[in-house]
């Protein structure tokens, strides 16, 4: 009788550790960083895109990014992430690595890109895994 709750606790602990382990195994450290940027305030990609590995609610102003690396090559993905306006001048997607033709920029952010080079590369690493 006394042993039963303990076994249950261990089984549940094992289950949750197992899930976390499987998840961290699936994404490299850099890809996981990219995912965090995409979900968080820096990228805010989930405002407009559905992405895998994210249980929170997401918007659908843009297409789902599931399988996006199958639909286009790495160079196209880079170009689109850097500045979607180069492909569609009317897009509502922010240019994440460009300072060209921006309007009403906060003076504190003048000359800066939305993503740093390192952040850009982490997001690219995550996107390239969506295949």
Give me the residues that bind ligand HEC (CB under 6 A), please.
38, 43-45, 47-49, 61-63, 65, 68, 71, 77, 80-81, 84, 87-88, 91-94, 96, 123, 127
- For the bound state, the minimum distance from the C-beta of residue 97 to ligand HEC, rounded and expressed in Å, comes to 10
Question: Which residue number, 8 or 66, has a Cβ lying nearer to ligand HEC?
Answer: 66
Rounded Cα–Cα distance for residues 101 and 116 (Å): 18
Question: Which residue number, 13 or 105, has a Cβ lying nearer to ligand HEC?
Answer: 105
Question: Which residue number, 15 or 72, has a Cβ lying nearer to ligand HEC?
Answer: 72
> b/e map of 69-89 (b: 16 or more CB within 10 Å)?
beeeeeeebbebbbbbbeeee
Here the tokens at position 19 are 């899930």
Contacts of 95 (CB under 8 A, 6+ apart): 82, 83, 84, 85, 102, 114
Question: Which residue number, 21 or 129, has a Cβ lying nearer to ligand HEC?
Answer: 129
- For the bound state, the minimum distance from the C-beta of residue 18 to ligand HEC, rounded and expressed in Å, comes to 30
């Amino acid at each position: 009788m006394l042993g039963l709750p303990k076994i249950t606790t261990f089984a549940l602990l094992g289950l949750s550790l197992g899930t976390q382990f499987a998840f961290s195994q699936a994404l490299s450290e850099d890809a996981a960083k990219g995912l965090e940027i995409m979900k968080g305030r820096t990228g805010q990609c989930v405002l407009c895109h559905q992405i895998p590995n994210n249980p929170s609610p997401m918007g659908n102003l843009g297409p789902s990014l599931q399988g996006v690396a199958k639909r286009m090559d790495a160079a196209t993905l880079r170009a689109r992430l850097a500045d979607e306006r180069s492909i569609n001048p009317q897009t509502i997607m922010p240019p994440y690595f460009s300072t060209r033709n921006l309007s009403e920029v906060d003076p504190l952010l003048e000359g800066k890109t939305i993503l740093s080079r390192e952040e850009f590369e982490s997001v690219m690493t995550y996107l390239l895994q969506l295949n």
